[in-house]
Amino acid sequence: MQRLIWVIGAIAALAAVTVLNSMPAPEAASTGAARAQHSLVLTGSSTVAPLAGEIAKRYESAHPGTRIDVHGGGSGRGIADARQGLAHLGMVSRDLKAGEGDLTAYPLARDGIGIIVHAANPIANLSKAQLIAIYTGEFGNWQALGGRDAPITVVHKAEGRSTLELFLAYTGLKNSETRPRVVIGDNEQGIKSVAANPNAIGYVSIGTAEYDIAHGAPIRLVALDGVAASSEHVRDGSYPLARTLNLVSAAPLRGLARDFVEFARAEQTRDLILAQYFVPLAQ
């Protein structure tokens, strides 16, 4: 009997020691909490992500010990992650819709959606009607548009991308009516697809396209209904296919998230916006 009591006591003591050993030391717990307070996660639009990444680097340099992680995945992901608390901020390259009133948008810049072809393609302008005919398969050869005798390779955006939503809204098409040969995700995939195929056509962020053209990408932006696809024409409002680049949140901004958004929207990031070929908002 005494031995049984001794064994039970030993087990209880061992359990107590195990629990104590498994608990984080006060210093470790404090460090973990501090780390959580000094880190931020952004997910969403592949158009906004490069700009947000540059802003994050500048913010981190000015605030040692702070970490800001930026991940793409499309505007749809940005909205979903912000709603579900999987990201502190979502990145969305369009205006919020009527059914997204639970979110608050914080505009960063303006951008356009440009039609791109290979640099060797002689087509310089397309009308909306011609663009629709290309994407529905009515025009399957560049010769029908005054180009060379070659089949058109249609590059299209995947579901969940705001660029796709805006393209469909502009053309009045349903996604089921399009006839793409290649379906891509982010802007860089679209640019690489067109750069690698002289017969391809696609649509991407104007800012991203201008940046890549300036760095040697063999693509060209095509005018739309006679208006050149350029940051300048997005700025003056003459380009018909433009949008706002936003950070979004499902909860009131506090602490680091509020400070970062204020930093991102301040005059001190204007040069980063221009470097990405986007259009700064009026201060």
Cα angle at 247 between 166 and 63, to 5 degrees?
150
Residue 38: what pLDDT? Answer: 86
Integer Cα distance of 22 and 28 in angstroms: 12
What would the pLDDT profile of 75-114 be if each residue is shown by its tens digit? 999 999 999 999 999 999 999 999 999 999 999 999 999 9
Q: Residue 31 and residue 246: Cα distance in Å, rounded?
A: 32
242-249 and 89-92 strand pairing: antiparallel
What are the tens digits of pLDDT across the range 125-173? 999 999 999 999 999 999 999 999 999 999 999 998 999 999 999 999 9
CATH fold group of domain 26-109+245-280: D-Maltodextrin-Binding Protein; domain 2 (3.40.190)
Quick one: pLDDT at residue 37? Answer: 63
Q: State pTM to two decimals.
A: 0.80
The whole-angstrom separation of Cα 3 and Cα 17 is 21
What pLDDT sits at residue 282?
76
- Own/partner contacts of 208-216, CB < 8 Å, gap of 24 or more, are 208/47, 208/50, 208/276, 208/277, 209/114, 209/116, 210/277, 211/276, 211/277, 212/188, 214/277
d(CA 67, CA 31): 14
Q: Which two structure tokens, joined as six digits, stand for 152? A: 């058109």
HSE-CB for 257 with a 13 A CA cutoff: 20
Q: How does pLDDT run across 112-131, given as a tens digit for each residue?
A: 999 999 999 999 999 999 99
Domain ranges, ordered by start, for the chain:
26-109+245-280, 112-235
Q: pLDDT averaged over the chain?
A: 89
CATH architecture of the region 112-235: 3-Layer(aba) Sandwich (3.40)
C-beta of residue 179 within 8 angstroms of C-beta of residue 111: no
Tens-digit pLDDT profile for residues 239-260: 999 999 999 999 999 999 999 9
* Residue 224: strand pairing partners: 126, 227
pLDDT score, position 198: 97
pLDDT at residue 239 in the model:
96
Q: Do 112-235 and 26-109+245-280 fall under one CATH topology?
A: yes
**Confidence class for position 16, pLDDT limits 50, 70, 90:** very low
Amino acid at 209: A
For residue 91, the cross-strand partners are 44, 247
